[in-house]
Structure formats: C-alpha cells, structure tokens
Structure 1
Amino acid sequence: MRSAWVMTLKPGQEASYKQKHDEIWPEMIDMLKAQGISNYSIYRHGLTLFAHLERDESATPDEAAFEELAQRWKEWMAPHMETHADLTPVVDHVEEVFRLD
C-alpha cells in the first residue's frame, strides 16, 4: 500500500523540524520497519510538508509499543507543526493521480 499526505509547519520551525528528523530516534526507525513501512520520505515546500510511504500490509507489528513511541514522538514534534488537541498532526491525505512503475 502507498500513502501520501500533507502537513503544515509553524512559521520559523523549518530548521528545528529538519534537525529532529536528521536525529530521528533509532527506536522510531525500528518501529516503522516493524510496521512494514519502507520508502518513507517527507519533502518540504515552504511551510508545507509532503509525506509519502509504502507499507507491507502483511506486517504484524506490536501496536501497543508503537502507540507509546508514537505518542512520545508527537509530543516532541508538536511545537513545530500544526496539530490537533491530542497532538496528532493536522493531515490532509492526497489522491494518487499518476504512477510510473
């Protein structure tokens, strides 16, 4: 499965957001891979972030462990991007209209 979405940075947070991803936690990388996620990229255009990933839906991750780690990540990233009250990023999913394999 392939997914893509956009998110929005808060003004002035571009460098901090990038630095946190440059220093991504090794346990986050491990958990993403355990979720079956590969080829995950985030691009920035001004304050707009465009994210794309591919996921093997046959993966059987430890959901409880992922939720705890994901919550810590959301708390760490919330100062830099638009979020909902529960700190989940505001996300708009985008439709794939063309693909060349």
Structure 2
Amino acid sequence: MVRLGQVMYLHPDAYDEYQKRHAALWPEMKKALKEYGATNYSIFLNEKTGQTFAYLEVPDEATYNKIADTEICKKWWQYMEPLMDTNPDNSPVTTDLKEVFHLD
C-alpha cells in the first residue's frame, strides 16, 4: 500500500462550504475514488492558513492517478474550483509531500 500526502490551498471564505461539499460527496465521485484504489482518505484543514492536508492510501499510485482523466473527477474539480487555488484545468493546486516517517 502506498501512503500519499498532499497540501491544497483553500480561499479564506471557503472553509465552511468546502466542508459542506465533502460531507455531501457525490456517490459517483465516491465510487470513482474507490474504483481507482483510494482508501483511508482524510482531509484536514489548517484554519489559520487555509491549507488542507489530504492523506490517502492506494495500492498503486499510477492507477490512482488515472482518476484525473475521468469525467466525474473533472466535474468535481469544476465544482470545487471557486473554493480553492486551481490549475488551468480546474485541478487543485497541490504540493505532494514526501513521507519521512511511519510508525507501524
């Protein structure tokens, strides 16, 4: 299992809406995440900076990354775009984190 960590960046006025939208995650988005291998997925918010920390586990990172090519993922990105820093394709601006410690 591969453990992934990423930082994303919310707009200061979007914290509540971001949480609300994730609490009502579309069933088809949830299904896609699972189909592409995501498990143990959590997102944490630093309310002082607007940074989120996303953690998830996947069996294979290359397979998981293919979710970006799906229509449902692109639709989700478009839905979330007003709330956060995004790239020209509406994908969230992310900083991938390198794992430096794991307690078994």
TM-score of the aligned structures, taking structure 1 as reference length: 0.89
Cα-Cα RMSD: 2.2
| Structure 2 unaligned regions, length at least 5 | none
Matches within 5 A, 1:16-95: 16-46=17-47, 47-57=50-60, 67-95=70-98
CA drift at 1:57: 2.1
How high is the sequence identity, in percent, across the aligned residues?
A: 38
Whole-angstrom CA distance in 2 between matches of 1:25 and 1:97: 33
Whole-angstrom CA distance in 1 between matches of 2:60 and 2:84: 28
Whole-angstrom CA distance in 2 between matches of 1:88 and 1:35: 17
Post-superposition CA distance 1:52-92 (Å, at most 9, x none): 1100229x78x58x610011000000000000111111000
| Structure 1 unaligned regions, length at least 5 | none
Q: How many residues align?
A: 100
Moved over 2 A (4+): none
